[in-house]
Amino acid sequence: MTKDNYDITIIGGGAAGLMFAAQYDLKGLRGIILEGTSRVGSKLLMSGGGHCNITHGGSIKDFLYAYGDAGPSLRRCLYRHSNLELAKWLSDHGIAPSDEEGRTI
């Protein structure tokens, strides 16, 4: 461990940490991502048979059921930051999300 100072520290190199780093213009800042595994983003490769499941392509109403009893408590967050908003953000950044049949979301 070095005693260098950083402007920003991101805890976790998974989907959320990497999306945070990509979302904000961190250019000019000294930053570090702290990840507990040997490689950042490695869990993304394990989901969806290697296709990187990042969201649900259907209605948020249907998606809530995937969370069981916790679904209703997540409703507000999922409607505020919807799967369609995520798909648009990815598309705006050059990544075309698609469903299992290859249809663009």
pLDDT digits (tens, 9 = 90+) for 63-83: 788 788 888 888 888 888 888
CA distance 11 to 4: 16
pTM of the model: 0.50
70 or 45, higher pLDDT: 70
Residues whose CB falls within 8 Å of the CB of residue 60, separated by 6 or more in sequence, listed in order? 75, 78, 79, 82, 83
Q: Which pLDDT band, with edges at 50, 70 and 90, does 12 fall under?
A: very high
